[in-house]
Amino acid sequence: MDLSSESVKRVLGKYKFHDVAVEELQKVHRIYPDMKPVVATYVFNDSSQRDLVKLVGNIPVRYQGQSYNLPIQLWLLDSFPFTPPICYLRPTPNMVIREGKHVNPKGRIYLPGLHNWDHPKSSVNGLLAEMISKFEEDPPLASKPGGDGKDTSDLLAFVSNLQISERGNRLDQPVNKVTVIGGGDLGMATVMSIMAKGSVDKLVLIDIPESSTKGGTVDLEIFSLPKVEVSKDLSTSAGSKVVVVTANAWSNEQSYVGVVQTNVDMYRGIIPALARLSPQAVFLIASQPVDVMTHVAWRQSGLSPTHVIGAGCNLDSERLTHVLNITLLSGKTRKPAWVIGELSDKKVAVWSNRGSVSDQHQPPDLVPVSSSTRPLVDRAFEMLKGRGQRSWSVGLSIADITQTILMDLRKTHSISTLAQGWGGIGSEVFLSLPCVLGANGSTRLAGVNLNTEDDAKLRESVTSLSNLFMQLRI
């Protein structure tokens, strides 16, 4: 491979593992001599730019007995080959991208080999071989139809790609697809709880290798369930309506910040890809600490804050409402209550101004706990002590939120959401607040004037969460 170009030598000379990178490029040249190195400027998601070496060329793909050259480009980051290339198709003017399992609408390529990249076990040659194999199964490019729109071969190709059910319906119509990330106890509890609700058409459980929470995914592969797919490939999440993240990557770090940073690093490897694969999905975060990790997921995904939420205090809110209305207010007017704030001992409660738990057509106005109702709420909280956040309980709560989104129920949940601007909060933090949920994400209810004690708890949470977030490398 010709690496003598001044620009290539200059940029490649700044790579952290220069000698190893050069050796890897020479290996590529021996197998794929058509791949040529050039220097170009790559623009990252945060709008920062960097001059990088990229490999540009064609890969040979056979389809229906014919051989085609598919143009691709591989951007090599400065830590290459210990980080995977960023891969794109390069369609010519007479080609169109066919979005699919391994390619997004912009031509970005996603493969298991990229997600599981681990040099020296992983190599560009191995990646290109995998790319050829996948693209022979599902070609990512197609020719544009003729100007008269009557190109017979294109029309037949289009018709042959349609899948028709026995009833004559298109199988590519939107389905209620949910992806759960993380194969630990919480992931398994979430899968079982969502399936029990009966509102999902397909559920994908992805057990990522970075997660330290290992559970029963192998058993689920052995004792398979209808509508459930177990995978290690993030691309199987494509087209999800809800993406639930339960994974945690706990480390042996001594400091709390170090432990949380391990989770942040894990998220950096999965959240951007998941967001690209399901850009219309609502992301539901259950990793710990949930308020911080929801904030991290929102920052890394690039999605609207209405589409990145955390499980937050939904479980506590449902428990509080149950205890208040079933146990303490039996036979009286039933009112929903919500636990808001940080998922910690600083959380506080608010009421609805209407005496109905199930009226979902008119969002309730919130009222604070008054001096007259404080003893009742304190008694309810006392009764809830010791219940904790067990996996099955949290899984049921997640399933409850997921069903509200899938069925567009417009129900009010206390979920972790961007709290900036609510009740005078100026900082960019995520807290549990009552939100109306539906297929298009979340809508916060109007703020409420809390009493002095509860407001102080909320402000303390804002300060502590802001300080923690500032110490993390997002």
Q: What CATH number does the domain containing 471 carry?
A: 3.40.50.720
Q: Is 226 part of any domain? A: yes
Number of alpha carbons in the 13 Å side-chain half-sphere of residue 234: 27
Residues 251 and 323 in one domain: yes
Residues 64 and 131 in one domain: yes
Cα–Cα distance for residue pair 262/115, rounded to 1 Å: 18
Q: Is 116 part of any domain? A: yes
Decide: 2 and 38 in contact? Cβ < 8 Å: no
Residues 298 and 439 in one domain: yes
Q: Is 432 part of any domain? A: yes
Decide: 273 and 84 in contact? Cβ < 8 Å: no
Which CATH number does the domain housing residue 117 bear?
A: 3.10.110.10
Contacts of 321 (CB under 8 A, 6+ apart): 336, 337, 338, 357
Cα–Cα distance for residue pair 425/110, rounded to 1 Å: 39
Residues 139 and 254 in one domain: no
Residues 321 and 441 in one domain: yes
What is the domain count for the chain?
A: 2
Residues 207 and 73 in one domain: no
Cis amide prior to 120 (ω within 30 degrees): yes
The CA distances from residue 104 to 239, 273, 361, 442, in Å, are 11, 10, 37, 26
Query: Given 143, 171, 189, which residue is the final one in a domain?
Result: 143
Cα–Cα distance for residue pair 212/224, rounded to 1 Å: 23
Long-range contact list for 466-471, CB < 8 A, 24+ apart?
466/427, 466/428, 466/429, 468/257, 468/260, 468/292, 469/292, 469/295, 469/429, 471/257
Q: Which two tokens stand for residue 171?
A: 């199988």
3-state secondary structure of 212: coil
Taking only Cα atoms into account, the Rg of the chain, rounded to an integer number of angstroms, comes to: 26
Cα–Cα distance for residue pair 252/348, rounded to 1 Å: 32
Q: What is the pTM of this model?
A: 0.64
Q: Is 276 part of any domain? A: yes
Decide: 68 and 140 in contact? Cβ < 8 Å: no
Q: Which domain holds residue 92?
A: 6-143
Percent helix, percent strand, percent coil in the chain, to nearest 5: 35, 25, 40
3-state secondary structure of 309: strand
Query: Given 143, 164, 189, which residue is the final one in a domain?
Result: 143
Residues 139 and 211 in one domain: no
Decide: 116 and 209 in contact? Cβ < 8 Å: yes
Cα–Cα distance for residue pair 207/215, rounded to 1 Å: 9
Query: Given 143, 165, 197, which residue is the final one in a domain?
Result: 143
Residues 26 and 129 in one domain: yes
pLDDT by residue for the chain (474 residues), tens only, comes to 668 788 999 999 999 999 999 999 999 998 888 899 999 999 887 788 899 999 999 998 887 667 788 899 999 999 999 999 999 999 888 788 888 778 888 899 999 899 889 888 899 999 999 999 998 888 888 776 654 444 434 433 433 343 433 333 444 445 799 999 998 889 999 999 999 999 999 999 998 866 655 556 767 776 778 889 998 888 889 889 999 999 998 766 668 899 899 999 999 999 999 998 899 999 999 999 999 999 999 999 999 999 999 999 999 888 888 887 766 555 555 567 888 999 887 878 887 765 544 455 556 666 666 665 666 666 766 766 766 657 889 999 999 999 999 999 999 999 999 999 988 899 999 999 999 999 999 998 877 778 888 889 899 999 999 999 999 999
Residues 349 and 446 in one domain: yes
Q: Is 399 part of any domain? A: yes
Q: Is 214 part of any domain? A: yes
Residues 381 and 248 in one domain: yes
Q: Is 61 part of any domain? A: yes
Residues 268 and 395 in one domain: yes
Q: Is 168 part of any domain? A: no
3-state secondary structure of 157: helix
Residues 127 and 184 in one domain: no
